[in-house]
Chains A and B, each alone.
Chain A
Amino acid sequence: MARSTTTRRKIITTAAAWAVGLLIFFPIYWTILTSFKTEAQAINDPPLFFFFDWTLENYAVVQERSDYMRFLWNSVIISGLSTLLGVMIAVPAAWSMAFVPSRRTKDILLWMLSTKMLPAVGVLYPISLLFVKFGLLDTRTGLVVVLMLINLPIIVWMLYTYFKEIPGEILEAARMDGATLREEIVYILTPMAIPGIASTMLLNFILAWNEAFWTLNLTAAKAAPLTAFIASYSSPEGLFFAKLSAASTMAIAPILILGWFSQKQLVRGLTFGAVK
Chain B
Amino acid sequence: MGRIQLKQVKKSFGDVTVIPPLDLEIEDGEFVVFVGPSGCGKSTLLRLIAGLEDTTGGVIEIDGKDATSLPPAKRRLAMVFQSYALYPHMTVRKNIAFPMRMAGLDKAEQDKRIAAAAKALNLTDYLDRRPGQLSGGQRQRVAIGRAIVREPAAFLFDEPLSNLDAALRVGMRMEISELHKKLATTMVYVTHDQVEAMTMADKIVVLHAGVIEQVGSPLELYRAPRNKFVAGFIGSPKMNFIEGKEAAAHDAHTIGIRPEHIDVSTTEGHWHGTVGVAEHLGSDTFIHVHGVPGCSPMTVRVGGEIPVRHGDKVFLTPNLDHLHRFDAKGLRIA
Query: Are chains A and B native binding partners rather than an unrelated pairing?
Result: yes
Range, interface on chain A: 10 to 19
What residues of B have a CB within 8 angstroms of the CB of A188 in the complex? 87
Determine if B78 and A176 form an interchain contact, defined as CB atoms under 8 angstroms apart. yes
> Which residue of A is nearest B83, CB measured?
A169
In terms of DSSP, what is the predominant structure of the interface of chain A?
A: helix
**B71, CB-defined interface residue at 8 Å:** yes
Give residues of chain A (170-214) contacting chain B, Cβ–Cβ below 8 Å. 170, 172-180, 183, 187-188, 191-192, 194
CA distance A187 to B102 in the complex (A): 10
Determine if B79 and A176 form an interchain contact, defined as CB atoms under 8 angstroms apart. yes
> Which residue of A is nearest B88, CB measured?
A192
**B293, CB-defined interface residue at 8 Å:** no
What residues of A have a CB within 8 angstroms of the CB of B87 in the complex? 170, 173-174, 188, 192
What residues of B have a CB within 8 angstroms of the CB of A119 in the complex? none
Determine if B85 and A175 form an interchain contact, defined as CB atoms under 8 angstroms apart. no
Determine if B73 and A178 form an interchain contact, defined as CB atoms under 8 angstroms apart. yes
Determine if B89 and A191 form an interchain contact, defined as CB atoms under 8 angstroms apart. yes
CA distance A170 to B103 in the complex (A): 18
Decide: A192 near B89, CB < 8 A? Known: A173-B79, A176-B73, A177-B98: yes
Number of residues from B at the complex interface, CB < 8 A: 22
Give residues of chain B (74-125) contacting chain A, Cβ–Cβ below 8 Å. 77-79, 81-83, 85-89, 98-99, 102-103
**A167, CB-defined interface residue at 8 Å:** yes
What residues of B have a CB within 8 angstroms of the CB of A177 in the complex? 73, 78, 98-99, 102, 146, 150
Determine if A183 and B102 form an interchain contact, defined as CB atoms under 8 angstroms apart. yes
CA distance A167 to B146 in the complex (A): 18
**B52, CB-defined interface residue at 8 Å:** yes
CA distance A177 to B102 in the complex (A): 7
Decide: A178 near B85, CB < 8 A? Known: A172-B52, A173-B79: no
CA distance A180 to B73 in the complex (A): 8
Residue of B50, B71, B87, B103 contacting most chain A CB atoms (<10 Å):
B87
Determine if A175 and B83 form an interchain contact, defined as CB atoms under 8 angstroms apart. no
B247 to chain A, nearest CB (A): 46
B142 to chain A, nearest CB (A): 11
Determine if A167 and B102 form an interchain contact, defined as CB atoms under 8 angstroms apart. no
CA distance A191 to B73 in the complex (A): 21
The residues of A with any CB-CB pair to B shorter than 8 Å are 167, 169-170, 172-180, 183, 187-188, 191-192, 194
Sort A-B residue pairs by CB-CB distance and give the 6 closest, nearest first: A178-B102, A173-B85, A177-B99, A178-B73, A169-B85, A176-B79
